[in-house]
Amino acid sequence: MKILGIESSCDETAAAVYVNGELLSNVVASQSIHEKYGGVVPELASRAHQKSISSTVRQALEESGYRPDELDAVAVTNGPGLMGALLVGLSFAKGFCLRHNLRLIGVNHMDAHIYANFIEDKPEYPMLSLVVSGGHTQIVHVTEPFEHTILGKTRDDAAGEAFDKTGKLLGLPYPAGPVMDRYAKEGNPKFHRFPQALLNEGLDFSFSGLKTSVLYYLEKVREEEGEVYLEKHLKDICASVSEAITGVLVHKLNRAIDQTGCRTILLAGGVSANSMLREKVMKLCDGKNLSLHIPKMAYCTDNAAMIAVTGFLKAKRGEFDDLSLKPYATQQV
């Protein structure tokens, strides 16, 4: 099975070629246009996808050494994501399938973050996946391929959003997650204790209160100690915010492990690139002797390799779509 994967759900235009279980190319065109707005501007994202989709796909094909007519199928993200952005990738994929007589496979972006773990690895079912990205935060019980139960999810902001929004308050550039991660490594996570919402309640998350508490904390410290003190302790504050976010994620993951008895744990989504989270989850799984799978950095953030591999797994089950495939903005449960 030779598959071209296409991803355009947010601010990354990506294409990858996956042939018989081997990833041959993985091209990502990131959109820097959003930096100055401090967040993704949907209309600008759609236009940027439109501009780079052809060249991104062409490059992925060239690097793979395959011609379009040698492929079997195109796997494309059809949700969840920004509607205009999704439409660019989906329309392109449909046109490409028509032109080259290929099968079409619609892929759920969140599923793809989970199955990114299958690009270089073979995790065993049943699995428990902590899916943490800029738009979602979920604990998903995967009992067998594509049998997913969401055990817990965020009631407001996603974990990535919590990093990005608190980072913005600290004056970090968008997306703040990776910068916060870098600074946190050199700071003291116990410098200040930020709140961890719903810690002792079920498996749901809430991160919107953290943003407010960081805002009030900064206002208070600025007034009492001055700006220079804040600058001096920026890395300590980054470490303390990261501690609050990753602490609650791992606490809930631990609870889900105890509830389900699952022995295979997966990290998925952009925030799984976070070093403090990785360290904590590794420690947890080591302590419980569980099998932990974390994708390579390049497969944690949005990419098309994860779309292609998910398409491959669906194709193996005979799951194809026709040209009436529609995009959807929000997760369908």
- Which positions touch ligand KG4 (CB under 6 A)? 10, 133-135, 160, 163-164, 175, 177-178, 181, 269-271, 273-274, 301-302
- For residue 173, say if its preceding peptide bond is cis, omega within 30 degrees of 0: no
Minimum distance of ligand KG4 from residue 148's CB (angstroms): 17
Question: Would you say 11 or 321 has its CB closer to Zn ion?
Answer: 11
CB of 19 or CB of 240, closer to ligand KG4: 240
- What sign results for the dihedral spanned by CA atoms 182, 81, 112, 264? positive
Q: For ligand KG4, give the closer residue by CB, 110 or 127.
A: 110
Interacting span for Zn ion (CB under 5 A) from 126-134, 160-168, 239-247, 258-266 = 126-134
Binding partner of residue 163 among Zn ion, ligand KG4, none, CB under 5 to 8 Å per kind?
ligand KG4
For residue 225, count other CB atoms closer than 10 A to its CB. 12
> Could you tell me the CA-to-CA distances from 196 to 159, 178, 225 in Å, in that order?
12, 21, 25
Cα-based angle 180, 181, 183 (whole degrees, multiple of 5):
65
Shortest separation between residue 272's beta carbon and Zn ion, angstroms: 10
The nearest distance, CB 94 to ligand KG4, in angstroms, is: 22
Piece of the chain touching Zn ion by CB under 5 A; list 21-29, 128-136, 165-173, 310-318: 128-136
| Residue among 32 and 101 whose Cβ is closer to Zn ion | 32
47 neighbors 39 (Cβ within 8 angstroms): no
**Beta-carbon contacts of residue 211 (< 8 Å; ≥ 6 apart):** 157, 162, 165, 166, 169
Distance CA 56, CA 15 (A): 6
CB of residue 9 to Zn ion, shortest distance in Å: 7
CB 299 → Zn ion: shortest distance, Å?
11
Give the interface segment with Zn ion, choosing from 120-128, 219-227, 233-241, 298-306 (CB under 5 A).
Answer: 298-306
Strand partners, 323: none
Comparing CB distances to ligand KG4, the nearer of 102 and 175 is 175
Q: Taking phi first (over 0 means left), then psi (-120 to 50 degrees means alpha), and beta for anything else, what does residue 88 get?
A: alpha
Query: What would the x/- binding string for Zn ion be over residues 129 to 158, using CB under 5 A?
Result: ----x-------------------------
Quick one: 5 or 269, whose CB is closer to ligand KG4?
269
| CB-based contacts of 291, cutoff 8 Å, min separation 6 | 123, 124, 263, 264, 265, 285
Sheet with 103-108: strands ordered across? 22-30, 12-19, 2-7, 73-79, 103-108
Cα distance between residue 114 and residue 268, in whole Å: 5
| 164 part of the interface to Zn ion, by CB under 5 A | no
Q: Which does 31 bind (CB under 5 to 8 A by kind): Zn ion, ligand KG4, none?
A: none
Rounded to 10 degrees, what is the CA torsion of 308, 60, 21, 297? -70
Residues 302-321 contacting Zn ion, CB under 5 A: 302
Does 13 help bind Zn ion (rule: CB under 5 A)?
Answer: no
Binding residues (CB under 5 A) for Zn ion: these are 133, 302
